[in-house]
Amino acid sequence: MDLGIKGKVVLVTAASKGLGYAIAEAMLAEGARVAISSRSEEGIRKAAEQLSQNGLYDVFYTPADLSNPQDVDRLMDQVLNHFGQVDILVCNTGGPKTSDFVETSYEDWKNGMDMMLFPVLKMTERVIPKMKENKWGRIIYMTSTWVKQPRKSGVISTMARSAISGLSKHLSNELAKDNILVNQIMPGPTWTDRSKEITSRLAEQRGVPVEIIKAEIAEEIPLGRYGTAEEIANAVTFLASEKASFITGASLQVDGGQIKATV
């Protein structure tokens, strides 16, 4: 199936591994030109080398700490200078400290917003003008099922990603006239480094093996398992495609059925 994104320019952040890497890989397989970033210069360089498959695919990379506004500006400058535009923006960010509200300091809140919310605003602002000019664009925010079904110790992530969820819905209305589609993907439990970190923390708190925590979470999912990064990437690629041309303002759960709400 031709998804209609061959030659499109895609920017995927936090892409040295995990979900971001899988999304970049899926976009390249569809013939897109891809820019990737992450905090680690070595990590993002190695990811670009692997993704390009010895030059077979067009991959541009640059290190960027999204919590640093200057890094975000530099990232956008470099990508726009290299490709001239971004057709598909996939805003993927790392996760903040896991804690309950009473354990969360003002500095924790600020660090979470600096990491997850403010860079998303800046990147979105930078890609919109060219998308409007071209009358075509896709903006996809990677949030979490925690937006709809908060979990223990996830208060910072839930609050920040809920703000992005609201932004996604607002922008979908504001930009529709320019054929810019804005959606959010809400991944459920996916066995990435972030999930390993969270399960390890919960296991340490309870004094039980990580495998017990992992099994308990898997039991909440009707499919009975964690998702894979590739499964999330498939959903992102579909929303970026021409096959999703009548979908905007949507919140797509990719969670194995974990969220129990009907809407």
Alpha helices by DSSP H, 149-228: 155-175, 193-206, 210-219
The CATH 3.40.50.720 domain(s) of the chain lie at 9-190+228-254
Query: 């969820």: which residue's tokens?
Result: 165
Tell me the average pLDDT of the chain.
Answer: 95
* Cα dihedral 172→175→181→185 (10° resolution): -40
SS3 content of the chain, % helix, strand, coil (to 5): 50, 15, 35
Start-to-end CA span in the chain (Å) = 29
pLDDT, tens only, 187-231:
999 988 878 888 888 888 889 998 998 999 899 999 999 999 999
Q: What is the pLDDT of residue 224?
A: 95
The residue-averaged pLDDT of 20-40 equals 97
| Cβ atoms within 10 Å, residue 29 | 12
The residue-averaged pLDDT of 104-118 equals 96
Query: Worst-scoring range by mean pLDDT, 9-13, 148-152, 160-164?
Result: 148-152
At 94, the pLDDT band (50, 70, 90 cuts) reads confident
- So what's the architecture of 9-190+228-254 in CATH? 3-Layer(aba) Sandwich (3.40)
Give exposure, 181-216, as e/b (b: 16+ Cβ within 10 Å).
bbbbbbbbbbbbebbeebbebbbeeeeeeeeebbee
Whether 88 shows a pLDDT value over 90: the answer reads: yes
Closest among 173, 194, 190, 172 to 235, alpha carbons compared: 190
* Cβ-proximal residues to 211 (8 Å cutoff; 6+ apart), any chain: none
The residue-averaged pLDDT of 227-248 equals 98
| Cβ atoms within 10 Å, residue 224 | 11
Angstrom CA distances, 8 to 139, 188, 196, stand at: 13, 28, 33
Closest among 85, 115, 201, 114 to 151, alpha carbons compared: 201
Whether 1 shows a pLDDT value over 90: the answer reads: no
Whether 63 shows a pLDDT value over 90: the answer reads: yes
Structure tokens at 197: 């970190």
Query: Which pTM value belongs to this model?
Result: 0.94
Whether 31 shows a pLDDT value over 90: the answer reads: yes
Q: What is the pLDDT of residue 29?
A: 96
